[in-house]
Amino acid sequence: MSATARQWLDDIRALPLPENIRIMNVCGGHERSITMAGLRGALPDNIELIPGPGCPVCVCPEEDVYEAIQIALHEDVILTAFGDMLRVPVNVPKDAIRSLEQAKASGADIRPVASPMESVQIAHDNPDKPVVFFATGFETTTAPVAAMLAEGTPDNLYVLLSGRLTWPAVAMLLDSEEAGFDALVAPGHVATVMGADEWQFVIDHHKMPAAVAGFTPESLLAAMYSTLRQKIEQRPFLDNCYPEVVTTGGNTSAKKHLSHVMKVVDANWRGVGIIPDSGFALTEAYAGHDARKQYPGYADTARKRAGQMPPGCDCARVVLGKIYPNECRLYGKACTPRTPIGPCMVSDEGACRIWWAGGVRESAA
């Protein structure tokens, strides 16, 4: 740990801390830095760091993954998806294909990509074949997908969009009877794109301390220090501890493309249910690139229900910050990165996977 990070830790220890304070982060990148830097162990015991809804792979609804699998299996297409999505399992009868990885093994042309540009290149290289880009992610990832479409894409590229907005999930938690946290560390790259002011509601509507953080231990500790001071002084305000790239209003080009290419709609979160105004859908102007319009027969509406995690899997409660990863009964027993049961153990941004990678092997269930 750097000298600056150690100084922040000393500053935090010197604060007249409350008996117990719970700080939630809502970004897999934040949780990864916190776990890998060992911040939980380094901070005083009365500070709880809670991983919240920060994993887009984990909340991607089961029906969307199922739809992608079915399109890849039954249509003569190339399906591209971010690598994390390939191993996400859906609930199907035993012996049926339960992931994109299994669909690929059975012959479907499924290609992992790391960037929307790779999907565009694949469409260019295969002009006679439709390419379906299964685009999952939060604002940081959905904005580049919007930019890709706004810039112009080959006619044979279709987007199966499963984009989500982060703040409505936090708003839903704060509007519930028991939010489960006392301060918020807001996601740095979501705020880079959308603007820090997207998080102002936490202070205005809920009088809760909040600070935007970057991904280094220094920036995260600075944000934690800020929220702790805000709490102690009872003077909540939205702090920006990632001023290198985060501005109040965000990236204007990115937001312009998002609003032109996509509209905000109610959306289902896996295991959580419908959250109002929390998803993206393509606007009419881009309907020609909408995979759901091109291949309408695969949306299985019967699957659209909350709580579709695999039996015994507590991913939904992990995502909402209600329990820690190792409080799930399956953690480290039936569910490990090698044989994941739920999406939180699949994705690099899933809290279960991060805790496992960080060396947490003991179940607390």
Which one of residues 254, 262, 315, 344 is an interface residue with another protein (CB under 8 A)?
254
CB 79 → another protein: shortest distance, Å? 17
User: Rule CB under 8 A: is residue 321 a binding residue for another protein?
Assistant: no
Q: Decide: is 197 part of the binding site for another protein (CB under 8 A).
A: no
CA distance 208 to 236: 6
Establish if 251 lies at the interface with another protein (CB under 8 A).
yes
In angstroms, what is the minimal distance from the CB of 56 to another protein?
Answer: 6
Please state the closest distance from residue 353 (CB atom) to another protein, in A. 13
Phi, psi angle pair for 228, to nearest 5°: -65, -45
Nearer to another protein, 29 or 340 (CB): 29
Closer residue to another protein, CB minimum distance, 150 or 210: 150
Q: Can you tell me whether residue 135 is helix, strand or coil?
A: strand
Q: Which is nearer to another protein, 70 or 140 (CB)?
A: 140
Structure tokens at 26: 């809502």
Contact window for another protein (CB under 8 A) among 213-221, 225-233, 262-270, 287-295: 213-221
Per rule CB under 8 A, count of chain residues that contact another protein: 50
Q: Taking the CB of residue 59, how many other CB atoms lie within 10 A of it?
A: 27
- Residue 65 interacts with another protein (CB under 8 A): yes or no: no
For position 189 contacting another protein by CB under 8 A, the verdict is yes
Quick one: which segment of 91-99, 146-154, 287-295, 329-337 binds another protein (CB under 8 A)? 146-154
Query: What separation in angstroms does the CA of 200 have from each of 81, 209, 226, 240?
Result: 33, 10, 15, 11
User: Is residue 104 a contact point for another protein (CB under 8 A)?
Assistant: no
Q: Which residue stretch of 89-97, 168-176, 209-217, 266-274 sits at the interface with another protein (rule: CB under 8 A)?
A: 209-217
Under rule CB under 8 A, residue 156 binds another protein: no
Site residues for another protein, 231-250, by CB under 8 A, read 244-245
Upper half-sphere CA count for residue 101 (Cβ side, 13 Å): 11
Cross-strand pairs, 132: 79, 158
CB 61 within 8 A of CB 162: yes
Q: Is 204 in the site for another protein (CB under 8 A)?
A: no
Interacting residue with another protein among 53, 89, 187, 343 (CB under 8 A): 187
98-106 long-range contacts (CB < 8 A, ≥24 apart) are 99/65, 99/69, 100/65, 100/68, 100/69, 100/72, 100/134, 103/69, 103/72, 103/73, 104/72, 106/73
313 to 318, 327, 329: CA distances (angstroms): 10, 11, 8
Q: Which stretch binds another protein (CB under 8 A): 51-59, 124-132, 168-176, 198-206?
A: 51-59
> Should residue 52 be labelled a site residue for another protein when binding is judged by CB under 8 A?
no
Q: What would the two tokens of residue 249 be?
A: 């209003």
Concatenated DSSP letters of 318-329:
HHTTSS-GGGST
Q: CA 249 to CA 193: how far, in whole Å?
A: 8
What does the binding site for another protein look like in residue numbers (CB under 8 A)? 2, 27-29, 32-33, 36-37, 54, 56-57, 82, 84, 114-118, 137-138, 140-141, 143-144, 147-148, 150-151, 187-190, 192-193, 214-218, 244-245, 251-254, 256-257, 348-349, 357
